[in-house]
Amino acid sequence: MSQFPEVLDNNLLHAENNETAEYIQNDGTNQSEVFMEHPYTPNMHPINMPSIVEGAVHPYNNLIHHNDAIPPAKYASMRQMTEDFWREKKQKMTEISEEDMLNKSKNMSVPMARVKKIMRIDDDVRNFMIASDAPIFMAQAAEFFIEEMTAMGWQYVSEARRRILQKADIASAVQKSDQFDFLIDFLPPKTVPTTSTNGPGHMSEDSFQDPNMHSDFHQRTSNSSVNRSHHN
């Protein structure tokens, strides 16, 4: 009778080992359920990864390297990117059917009312009639304009091996493209980050000012002092 509990414990241990072996030899359905409660994020540290049974296939081994690695730029140069962009857009507009064009005109990304209002800003245009299809083509051209500028910004992001598109990337695309010269006056002024006593990562108010503002201020003050000396 004294050996009965030991035999029972050995049988239970043997049964548990068999269940574990069957779990490991499964096709992966049960293993994936373990990780559904802990979705993968690119910044997940290996220490914080969910524990698995020894011998089981880790379903995130490929995802870790795939998501963390930033792919290189698709195009070798900005010119190659713009040529491929307009080649694709031209082919798309050439192959579009009348039905698709009609549906497109009813679901434009750019508001049609705003396009018509902009078209009538010029005083010379107010005296003429605008056909119903003219705002449609203007809205489509505006979409292409936004898409091209965004694609040029993403080219700079890819070359810098980053993931986030910033306004500085759009500004670089405008400055380095001759066709966008008319937008230079609308670019935000360049900012110079300055150190602050409020802790690391804090930007002071001076960091959001134009760096040329201080030189202009000193020039104006010097000119005013010279003028006062002449009057005296």
Q: Provide DSSP, 69-88.
A: SPPPPSSSSHHHHHHHHHHH
Distance CA(115)–CA(140), nearest Å, equals 10
34 pLDDT higher than 70? no
Residue 226, CA distances (Å) to 101, 215, 232 in order: 67, 17, 10
212 pLDDT higher than 50? no
89 pLDDT higher than 80? yes
**Roughly how many angstroms between the first and final C-alpha of the chain, as a whole number?**
122
Contacts of residue 63, Cβ cutoff 8 Å, sequence gap at least 6: 40
Looking at residue 96, its pLDDT comes to 83
φ, ψ dihedrals at 62, nearest 5° = -75, -35
**Could you tell me the sign of the dihedral formed by the alpha carbons of 32, 33, 35, 40, in that order?**
positive
Looking at residue 99, its pLDDT comes to 82
| Alpha helix ranges (H) inside the chain | 4-24, 29-36, 61-68, 78-95, 98-106, 112-119, 123-126, 134-159, 167-175, 212-231
Residue 61, CA distances (Å) to 20, 37, 58, 65, 71 in order: 22, 17, 6, 7, 18
Give me the residue spans of the domains in the chain.
Answer: 17-68, 78-176
Question: With contact defined as beta carbons under 8 Å apart, do 40 and 67 qualify?
Answer: yes
The whole-number average pLDDT for the span 150-175 is: 86
| Alpha helix ranges (H) inside 160-211 | 167-175
**Tens digits of residue pLDDT in 165-200:** 888 888 888 888 888 888 888 877 666 545 444 544
Architecture of domain 78-176: Orthogonal Bundle (1.10)
The whole-number average pLDDT for the span 51-70 is: 49
